[in-house]
Amino acid sequence: MTGVLRPGHVQLRVLDMEAGVHHYRDILGMQETGRDAEGRVYLKCRDEFDHHSIILRETDQAGMDFVGFKVLDLPTLDDFEKKLQAYGVETHRIAAGDLLETGERVRFTTPSGHQVELYAEKTLVGNGCGDTNPKPWDPKVTHGISPVRMDHLLLFGPNVPETLKLFTEVLGFNLVERVLGPDGETNIIVFLSCSIKSHDIAFAHYDEPGKLHHVSFLMDSWEQVLRGGDIMSMEDVPVDIGPTRHGVTRGQTIYAWDPSGNRFEIFKEDRQPYPDHPPLTWTLDGLGAGGGLDYVQRKLHETFLSVVT
């Protein structure tokens, strides 16, 4: 892992900041780490070392402003900027400090219409467990559903094959799994990894560009996913799908909505593909009756394909 390391942050649009902060901080169990002059609120999960992974911005339309990936260092950031430009992608440098505790960022637009950025520097605030003889977890910050980290995103938009090429040929991601369209050849959903996770980001075909399907948060275990479902019920969080298992990625999951209608997921990783592993292929029928989406009920939930922000 010497290029793109991981998803680092996502800026979400919320309709009511107070309700959004209550959801992500108090129910989901993130830590609030700052607020800026624009009124944005920054949060991190309990086992994340960087200053933030979620940024909330209040506006009149839910969705995602941008997603950021952390790269190894500043020379790597410069190198990716040159590679993107050589590939024909327009880039834009954003000055350090535009986001709290974050260095320079290089932003570009994917063929699917999403704003993606790369950065190398963000203040390390730690996970509260110490650096020497560390604790396994910090009881002072563990509350609510309490995910380990912000794990991945699924984004909806057009031009999935072109977006796949950009991420694999320029950014160095691996295609881990894919869903084929009705013609049995075209990729309509792709799952991409810059590590050995089942996916760090995924893209699915949708006619409108730049749509958010969900942000996913990693849990320690299937038991913790179920405990999270209990908390969702106690707090009247509307659930979309689950608890269940995916066939695709083998993830154990619950999908639900935040107060603004942004879908989020709590998820237990259950597959670690190495870069030399061939991608797994699912047919469109397999996504539904084959259990790709919901392995327990073996059906394709209508909301999964139609509700985005």
Written in H, E and C, the secondary structure of the chain is CCCEEEEEEEEEEECCHHHHHHHHHHHCCCEEEEECCCCCEEEECCCCCECCCEEEEECCCCEEEEEEEEECCHHHHHHHHHHHHHHCCCCEEECCCCCCCECCEEEEECCCCCEEEEECCECECCCCCCCCCCCCCCCCCCCCCCCCEEEEEEEEECCHHHHHHHHHHHCCCEEEEEEECCCCCCEEEEEEECCCCCCCEEEEECCCCCEEEEEEEECCCHHHHHHHHHHHHHCCCCEEEEEEECCHHHCEEEEEECCCCCEEEEEECCCCCCCCCCCEEECHHHHHCCCCCCCCCCCCCHHHHHCCC
Active site residue 246: yes
Active site residue 255: yes
102, 222: one domain? no
Domain at 185, CATH number: 3.10.180.10
171, 114: one domain? no
126 located within any domain: no
291, 204: one domain? yes
Active site residue 199: yes
31, 99: one domain? yes
298, 154: one domain? yes
84, 168: one domain? no
Give the burial class of 221: count Cβ atoms within 10 A of its Cβ; 0-12 exposed, 13-18 middle, 19 or more buried: exposed
79, 170: one domain? no
**Boundaries of domain holding 250:** 149-306
pLDDT of residue 124: 96
Domain termination residue (choose one: 71, 101, 119): 119
pLDDT of residue 271: 87
Please pick, among 24, 42, 206, 255, the residue that the annotation labels catalytic: 255
288 located within any domain: yes
Picking from 28, 34, 64, the residue whose alpha carbon sits closest to that of residue 46 is 28
pLDDT of residue 305: 86
pLDDT of residue 270: 84
pLDDT of residue 139: 84
Q: pTM of the predicted model, to two decimals?
A: 0.97
Map tokens 């397999």 to a residue: 286
- β-pair type (211-218, 263-268): parallel
9 located within any domain: yes
91 located within any domain: yes
Active site residue 265: yes
pLDDT of residue 141: 81
Please pick, among 48, 213, 246, 269, the residue that the annotation labels catalytic: 246
The total of structural domains in the chain comes to 2
Please pick, among 114, 199, 205, 213, the residue that the annotation labels catalytic: 199
Residues of the chain with pLDDT under 50: none
Please pick, among 52, 152, 205, 213, the residue that the annotation labels catalytic: 152
Please pick, among 58, 101, 104, 265, the residue that the annotation labels catalytic: 265
